[in-house]
Every structure is written in C-alpha cells, then in structure tokens.
Amino acid sequence: MNNKTSEVKPVRVVIIGGGVAGLGAAYGLTRPELEGRFDVRVIEKRTASQCLEAGYPIHLSPSGRDAISTLLSPADQERLHLARQSLPARHDGISFFNSDCKRIWHTLREPFESSLVERGDILRILRDRVKGIEYDRKVVSVKDLQDEAVVMLSTGEIIRADIVIGSDGMFSAVRKTLHPKDDFRPMPWVTCNFRLSPSFLKAAVSGLGADPRGINVFCGTGWSAALMPTHDGAYVALTVPSPMKDIRSAFASLPDLPLIQAIRADVNTNQGRAFPLYSAKYTQAGRGRLILIGDAAHGMNPFCGAGASMALSDAASLVKVLTGTEDLAEALPRFHNDLKKRADPMIKMSKVLLWLAQGKTPMGRVARGTAFRTIEVVEKVLPTRKRMQKRLDAVLADAEEAKRLDAALAEEANQAGISPVSSTSTLLEDTPPKMLRHD
C-alpha cells in the first residue's frame, strides 16, 4: 500500500453516495487550500433532483453543528444559519406526551439554538461547492487490491482509487464487500413521514400544548409520533408496527385520540412516505483502503435524532485525518477505532429509545414512566435547568420591555403624525413563547 500522500500526485478518492456523509467528505477534501492534494469523484446512484427532494427536517446535535461548522466556509455557514432560521425551532429541547396525548414533561436546552434544518437545504449547500458529482451512476462492487482499490459501476466501467469512501447508506455496497454476512437487521417498525398544514399545527399547539418552537414526541401504546414545526406547517413522523400494508390502514389501526384525529383530518396519505426501520448491530468502519462513514458504518433507527449529525461528524473527522497526515496506514486504523467508540453506544441508545417511545409492552410503558420521572428529577436538581430558566425569564422580561417601548414609540409617532416603525420587532419575533416555561 502506498501510504504517503504525495505532494506531486493527488490522492485519488472515490466517494460512493451523495448523502450528507459523502458530500460532507467531498466538501472538506475539495477546499480551495487543498487544491492538487486530492482528486475526488463522487458517485451517486440517484438523480440530483431525487437527492435534493425536501425529505425531512433533521435534528442537528451540538456535535453535528460543530462538525458542519468546521467543514463549511464562512459564506456557507451563513447559508446554513439562514436555512436553520427558516424553520421555527428555537431551542434544542423536547416535549413528551403520554399515550393520552397529555404533555408530561419537556426540556429546555440551548434557548435560541435552531436545532432543526431541512435535509435538502444541507445537501444543497454542500453540493453547490462540490463540482462534478456523478449522479445516476450506481456502484455494484469494490475491491481492495494490494496497491489500489477498484470500484465497479453498473455500466461495467471501472474506476481506480487510492481510497474509497463508502458513504452509500444503510445498504452499502462497500460494507457488503467487507462484511458479506453482517447485514442491517430489520426492526418490527415502520416510520411514515407527513407534511401537515399550519391549521394542524395550530390545533396541536392550542389543543394539546405542543411546542411550536421545538420537537414534540407523542408516545402511545405501540405507536409514537414526532412532530416538528416547519416553515409551512408541521412535519410528523409516525412510527407504527410492521408489517404495514399501506399508510391508510396504519392510520385505521390507531386509537381515536385528539392527535390522531387531527392528523387524519389533515393528512394526504398519498403524499406520505414510509420507511421500514433498520439498525446495524454494531459499527463497521472499514478496512485498508475502504473506509465506511455515515449510515454505511453505523445506520441506526432515527429515535436518537443523531444519524445525520453523526454522518457529518464522521465526514469532518475523516477529512481531518486525511488532510492532517502523510501516513494513512497509521492514521486510518485510529479513525476506525474512534468511529466505533463514538457510534456503537448510539446504536444501542437508539434501540432503547425506540423501545421506550413505542411502549408496546407493559414493561416498556412502566420503563418509560420511570425514565421520564427520573429525568425530570435529575433535570430539576441540575443547575443548568435553573440557568436556562433564568436566561429565558430575562429574555421574556426584555421582550415585555421591548413591547412597552414599541407602544411608547407608536404613541409618539402617532402624536407627531408619522407612521410608526418598530425597532424591536426582530427581538419580539425571536422571543420564545411562554409555553416554553417549565410547568
């Protein structure tokens, strides 16, 4: 294996898959200051428009946010900031509801941190800088030969590379090559995604106490629904037992609760998409010249809300390793170990969270109640909760003051016969609603 990244000959990198992991890695390796060091090709089996379709809002965890900001240029960081602001999420907490749709607990973390972003927006930002993505081209197999790797496409074409990055998702061709027996396991659940209207969101907020600025999770008996506010209404991910004949029959099997009634009244079942859930048993980070990142390495069910953030973290740390060393044979095993250490616990955690949220068995429901109560107690004694509340109270007080100021300005303007201009509208717009207070 030629371990040295030569200054003269660029390292040939083939990235398989143009999701967040693949495009994140491609973005990092094609930064202008690295010109000439890497010759990067991205092969994606879907068309550009299929890849960029709206999809779903993803949760960016603090580590995902750190990872993407280390990758992006300042101009693209600004684009990402605007994309995050375009969704109404304004903190990183969650509201939980029990099987009667009663809000039982909610957290308040990182006020004013927009933790959600449309997946399509992130992909667009990454894609705009990565030139020449080869869409509509499918990889069928890869081989690690002694001195180079070989990538075979469905067209019969062969591409030679020094490094292959397998970022081709759950059913990765690269993972299959490396570990033919170690497949992703199907889970007995299906998640259906829907976009619902602003009137649905309004009903969920006023009728059920859903938080219009954060993530809401309704935990039923054998089902769960995650509700996130979007710029044009709401996104709902409804998880029901599999096998599911079709989305309509999945709805028919759910209890007649206010939330379900509101979804039924609003949903266009023809537009919903169903995702059978799968999970890796453990992380596989690759071997030799073949590297796995993102879902290909550690695909998990979405109940941790961490898959995309982990994919971005993988991309950022792989870029750091590839750009920071000349000795890849020494650096890559370290990358593989770090990835495994980071991702294995998340795979386990996502399974536990899925089990708790779905509450299918009596034991699951008891465990869920205990978990909520424990977290509640822990949160109460933690100083962070008090600090958050103090900060929020201060901001709310500021907002009240701003309102008074606005009213005074309007009155003055009125008396002077000029049209009033609110100097505080932005502050008021950014103020979290009262319902974010702990009750």
- Draw the binding track, 227-266, toward ligand FAD (x: CB under 6 A; -: no contact): ----------x-----------------------------
Query: CA 86 from chain center: how many Å?
Result: 16
- The span from the CA of 269 to the CA of 271, in Å, is 5
Can you say whether residue 359 is alpha, beta or left, with left for phi > 0 and alpha for psi between -120 and 50 degrees? left
Tell me: does residue 311 bind ligand FAD (CB under 6 A). yes
DSSP H or E stretch at residue 158 = strand 158-161
Tell me: does residue 342 bind ligand FAD (CB under 6 A). no
- 64: tokens are 């995902």
Tell me: does residue 43 bind ligand FAD (CB under 6 A). yes
Tell me: does residue 139 bind ligand FAD (CB under 6 A). yes
Considering only 109, 138, 351, 403, the residue that binds ligand FAD (CB under 6 A) is: 138
Question: Of 162 and 295, which has the nearer Cβ to ligand FAD?
Answer: 295
Quick one: which segment of 29-37, 40-48, 96-104, 399-407 binds ligand FAD (CB under 6 A)? 40-48
What does residue 329 show for φ and ψ, rounded to 5 degrees? Answer: -60, -30
Tell me: does residue 298 bind ligand FAD (CB under 6 A). no
- 68: tokens are 């993407």
- 12: tokens are 């040939």
Contact, 217 vs 97, CB < 8 A? yes
**Strand, helix or coil for residue 199:** helix
Q: Taking the complex as a whole, how short is the minimal distance between the CB of residue 411 and ligand FAD, in angstroms? A: 46
Tell me: does residue 111 bind ligand FAD (CB under 6 A). no
Tell me: does residue 45 bind ligand FAD (CB under 6 A). yes
- The span from the CA of 368 to the CA of 362, in Å, is 10
Show contacts with ligand FAD in window 208-227 (CB under 6 A): none
Nearest Cα to 159, choosing from 169, 148, 173, 167? 148
Considering only 309, 313, 317, 350, the residue that binds ligand FAD (CB under 6 A) is: 309
- The span from the CA of 161 to the CA of 198, in Å, is 49
Give the single-character DSSP code of 33: G
Quick one: which segment of 195-203, 278-286, 308-316, 341-349 binds ligand FAD (CB under 6 A)? 308-316
Count of residues interacting with ligand FAD (CB under 6 A) = 35
Residue owning tokens 């969270």: 353
Quick one: which segment of 18-26, 70-78, 326-334, 395-403 binds ligand FAD (CB under 6 A)? 18-26
Question: 407-430: string of b/e by CB count within 10 Å (b at 16+)?
Answer: eeeeeeeeeeeeeeebebeebeee
**Strand, helix or coil for residue 266:** helix
Q: Taking the complex as a whole, how short is the minimal distance between the CB of residue 343 and ligand FAD, in angstroms? A: 11
Torsion, Cα of 122, 304, 47, 322 (10° steps): 70
Contact, 319 vs 331, CB < 8 A? no
What does residue 299 show for φ and ψ, rounded to 5 degrees? Answer: -50, 135
Q: Taking the complex as a whole, how short is the minimal distance between the CB of residue 21 and ligand FAD, in angstroms? A: 3
Question: Of 42 and 208, which has the nearer Cβ to ligand FAD?
Answer: 42
Nearest Cα to 269, choosing from 252, 287, 284? 252
- Draw the binding track, 364-393, toward ligand FAD (x: CB under 6 A; -: no contact): ------------------------------
Show contacts with ligand FAD in window 144-183 (CB under 6 A): 167-169, 173
Q: Taking the complex as a whole, how short is the minimal distance between the CB of residue 357 and ligand FAD, in angstroms? A: 13
- 429: tokens are 């717009």
Considering only 5, 193, 283, 284, the residue that binds ligand FAD (CB under 6 A) is: 193
**Strand, helix or coil for residue 227:** strand
Tell me: does residue 275 bind ligand FAD (CB under 6 A). yes
Tell me: does residue 56 bind ligand FAD (CB under 6 A). yes
Which segments of 229-327 does DSSP mark as H helices, in order? 247-252, 258-266, 295-298, 307-324
Question: Of 356 and 392, which has the nearer Cβ to ligand FAD?
Answer: 356
Q: Taking the complex as a whole, how short is the minimal distance between the CB of residue 385 and ligand FAD, in angstroms? A: 24
Tell me: does residue 332 bind ligand FAD (CB under 6 A). no
Question: Of 295 and 406, which has the nearer Cβ to ligand FAD?
Answer: 295
List interacting residues with ligand FAD (CB under 6 A).
16-22, 43-46, 51, 56, 58-59, 138-139, 167-169, 173, 191, 193, 237, 275, 294-296, 302, 305-309, 311
